[in-house]
Amino acid sequence: MLRIRYEGSAASEGPTGGGEAGSGHDRLLHIAREVADDLATDAVDREQAGKVPLDEVSRLREAGLLTLLTPAEHGGTGADWRTAYAVVRTVAAADGAIGQLLGCHYFLSFGARFFAAPALAARVERESAAGQWCWGGGFAAHEPPLRLTPTGDGYLLDGRQDYACGVAVADRLAVRAARSDTGEPLAVLVDPAHPGVTCVSDGDVFGQRLAAGGGVEFDSVAVPAGDVFGSLSSDEGVLPPFAGLAVPTARLVSAQFCLGIADGLLLEAREYSRATHHSRQPSAQGSWQCGPPQDPYALTAYGELVVAARAASALADQAVESLAQGLARGDDVEDDQCAEITVLAGAAEAAAARAAQEITTHALDVIGSCATSARHGFDRFWRNARTHTLREPVAPRLREVGDYCLNDAHPTFALPA
């Protein structure tokens, strides 16, 4: 495999906001690039082996990336989502599965701020930072609901979640469960080491092999009352607008993952083409000279792919900035603003998913038959992108965007897998 340095993206080089100084943003991006370089050295071998990514999570932990979003007063770095998204995209360019794993960790670990009371959220963040937790799980509504049964001093959790990200490596799981008496869906924090929790790795998936995804079963698992965050109800008026920002936050994790996949393959394809291409231009002596690629088909194809990536990136940047402004307003954010941010994030996710699928397909066409060699691992980009976009299809996002455009309809509260 070619040794490639992952220099980040346009999204990772823009201005930061919130509480994160520009120098802090640059430092964290530098750390993310070093981690990406490290992951890239054996990405093909690791992906083909498909082992549980314990070593990879250790790399993220040692680099200090797991506590990036945790406030400094709670023991973390105190960065904002602009920086977190740039880190996810940078890591995903080198290893898509680890980029998704990190992005899901960021979203789930931030969930306490969306769904829990401030004191509970602060306690959880302090414990997470102290223990350097890696978070896994998921809040998707389409999963068969887990049952949360009230007891005298807490709850019992039962049921099976068919798919959750990071279950094989998580120190804590954040899941969706419905109260057995009222049916209200709640966000629940679970220690996977507790008796009654069984994680089943998704070993036969053709892509995202290192995202540590799989099913998880709960058999009368004791859950303290203090580990139940709050409601995930989509009923109108139940959640405040700030909690509604969880949806665009998660959508933009998906978008940055897709953009990272596109960045990674474009970079590797470019370096491969530069290293192997011989232009057929005769010299004055009549011999064929090596030079930069001049095949008009290849140049046009690369141009189209770069345009697709840059266009999707620009839309994602706009959505990230809009989300950052909404998060900065906190409890003062309004329903209309939340809806606009959610629609923009959905559009960015759809554009990024389409760009990732287009680039991971047609970049292989430009490389040619050499792309079929397993030693290069070019196919992993397509497999990772396609696995993700099958789990997070574009059609529902497009329908939400269209309904908002035509009817001013606010998107429903629906968290991704």
pLDDT of 287 over the 60 cut: no
pLDDT of 33 over the 90 cut: yes
Residue 91 · residue 35 · CB < 8 Å: yes
What is the average per-residue pLDDT within 2-19?
Answer: 43
pLDDT of 107 over the 60 cut: yes
CA separation for the pair 60, 102 (Å, rounded): 8
pLDDT band at 298 (very low <50, low <70, confident <90, very high): confident
Taking CA atoms, 350 is separated from 251, 253, 303, 362, 416, in Å, by: 9, 12, 21, 18, 13
- Can you tell me which residue has the tokens 């899941």? 175
pLDDT band at 119 (very low <50, low <70, confident <90, very high): very high
β 288-289/281-282 pair status: antiparallel
The rounded mean pLDDT for the chain is 90
What is the average per-residue pLDDT within 300-326?
Answer: 97
In 3D space, the residue among 162, 174, 171, 257 whose CA is nearest the CA of residue 205 turns out to be: 162
Residue 163 · residue 138 · CB < 8 Å: yes
What is the average per-residue pLDDT within 211-228?
Answer: 95
pLDDT at site 1: 43
pLDDT at site 225: 95
What is the average per-residue pLDDT within 244-262?
Answer: 98
Cβ neighbours of residue 171 under 8 Å, at least 6 residues apart? Answer: 131, 132, 133, 134, 135, 191, 192
Q: Do domains 11-135 and 241-407 have the same CATH topology?
A: no
Instruction: Answer yes or no: CATH 1.10.540.10 is held by domain 11-135.
Output: yes
Fold of 241-407: Butyryl-CoA Dehydrogenase, subunit A; domain 3 (1.20.140)
In this prediction the pTM is 0.91
Please state which CATH number belongs to domain 136-231. Answer: 2.40.110.10
What is the average per-residue pLDDT within 81-95?
Answer: 98
The one-letter amino acid code at 332 reads: D
pLDDT at site 115: 97
Q: Which residues pair with 161 in a beta bridge?
A: 216
pLDDT at site 293: 63
Both structure tokens of 330: 């906190």
User: Quick one: what percent of the chain has pLDDT higher than 90?
Assistant: 77
pLDDT at site 12: 38
pLDDT of 15 over the 50 cut: no
CA separation for the pair 346, 344 (Å, rounded): 5
Q: Which residues pair with 146 in a beta bridge?
A: 177
Domain boundaries, given as residue ranges, for the chain: 11-135, 136-231, 241-407
